[in-house]
Amino acid sequence: MIYAITSLLVGIGLIMVLSSSSITSYLDEQGFFGGFWRQATYAVIGIPLMLIAAAFPIRFWKKWAWVLLSFGLMLQMLVFTPLGIEVYGNRNWIQVGSIGGQPSEMLKLALIVWIGAILLRKEPLLGQPKHELIPIIFPGALIALGLVLLGRDLGTTLVMGVTVLGAMYFGGVSWKALGVTTLGAVALAALFVVTSPNRMNRLFGHVTGNEDYSGLGWQPLHGLWALAGGGVFGVGLGGSKAKWSWLPAADNDYIFAIIGEELGLVGALLVIVLFVALAAVMLRVIARARDRFGRAVVGGILVWIVGQAFINIGVVIGVFPVLGVPLPLISSGGTALIACLLAMGVVVSIARDGSSYQAELAAQGAHS
């Protein structure tokens, strides 16, 4: 089921990237298929990596959790070197020749696996807030999120923060520790919003209905118009008007609007149902997991991928202000796609171990 749902989402993503990026790719002198071939290449790389990650035993992830986090942090620090580049005001990318990437996507997975390993190691001490917060929050998560925030990418930082809370919750951290962490996160997020005129404009523009049509309101309004134009059954694959340079990031952050325009309400609901189904399958993996590590890691990945999907959809339909986060497994973006596929491979690895664990329990029950 995990493989099937993931493959369907990636397949839908490739089709919609082909449609939504064709005009901008042509205008960028890459041909109509430039964006599609690039995304297809990343899918060809990511799917075998998912299968390799799934084949690793769960002890591999437990053993190498610290190394993975250290590697993720080192990659993220590269954005502050000459390799780092700025995209839409955020310095969260690195470029080596013609190859670019977003290290924070890999850091998400590394951080989740590390949190699972820490919770398993400190299991006898859980219930005591200081042992639940150290070193997961102080300094682990603060360093990881702080590096991303230094690049001014608040949207990715918020997703990572929610992911950390998800891993802690499914890992069995006490409500007291979760409450303290949540309150601290909300206070910090509010501080970074009120100290940035751009973020304040985005927030209040959203609250007042994005009335500034020529500025901040342009993208969300055209996203809503694209959705409305699709009706129930859509205008047909390839028939979008918004992708003709009317809707910024049509193949990335706002690809759900193109899905709604071309495939209609039916296509949009299909995508939502697939993410709900993925969440249901992952919850079953959590219930069958052998230990706290498996529950925390799968829970964190669930909140990351499914949670980010609904944040993205919420932005497109106008529930949330524009945050600049892509639709996982569907939006264009090579690093994001590969990171999500790797994460699904880790989920399959834990699911296989959980199946073995359930078989062991059944055998013990039969012998007793």
What single string gives the DSSP state of each residue in 6-60? Answer: HHHHHHHHHHHHHHHHHHHHHHTTS-TTHHHHHHHHHHHHHHHHHHHHHHS-HHH
pLDDT at 216: 65
Q: Which of 107, 109, 1, 62 is nearest to 291 (CA)?
A: 62
- Phi, psi dihedrals of residue 51, rounded to the nearest 5°: -65, -40
pLDDT at 214: 54
Element containing residue 133 per DSSP (H, E): helix 129-133
pLDDT at 74: 97
Q: Residue 147's pLDDT band (boundaries 50, 70, 90)? A: very high
| Mean pLDDT of all residues belonging to the chain | 93
List CB contacts of 136: < 8 A, sequence separation 6 or more: 115, 118, 119, 164, 168
pLDDT at 204: 61
Number of domains the chain contains:
1
Q: Is the pLDDT of residue 99 over 90?
A: no
> Average pLDDT, stretch 15-27?
95
> Average pLDDT, stretch 103-130?
96
Q: Is the pLDDT of residue 158 over 80?
A: yes
Q: Is the pLDDT of residue 296 over 80?
A: yes
Q: Is the pLDDT of residue 215 over 70?
A: no
Q: In what order do the strands lie in the sheet with 99-101?
A: 84-87, 90-96, 99-101
Burial of 160 (C-beta count, 10 Å sphere; 0-12/13-18/19+): buried
pLDDT at 213: 53
Whether a cis peptide bond, with omega within 30° of 0, leads into 197 is no
Rounded CA-CA distance 239/188 in Å is 43
Domain that holds residue 89: 2-367
Rounded CA-CA distance 298/294 in Å is 6
User: What share of the chain has pLDDT > 90, as a percent?
Assistant: 84
Q: Is the pLDDT of residue 314 over 90?
A: yes
- Which pTM value belongs to this model? 0.95
Rounded CA-CA distance 283/5 in Å is 14
Q: Which of 291, 293, 295 is nearest to 361 (CA)?
A: 291
Q: Is the pLDDT of residue 210 over 80?
A: no
Q: Residue 152's pLDDT band (boundaries 50, 70, 90)? A: confident
Q: Residue 107's pLDDT band (boundaries 50, 70, 90)? A: very high
Q: Is the pLDDT of residue 182 over 80?
A: yes
First-to-last alpha carbon distance for the chain, in angstroms, is 33
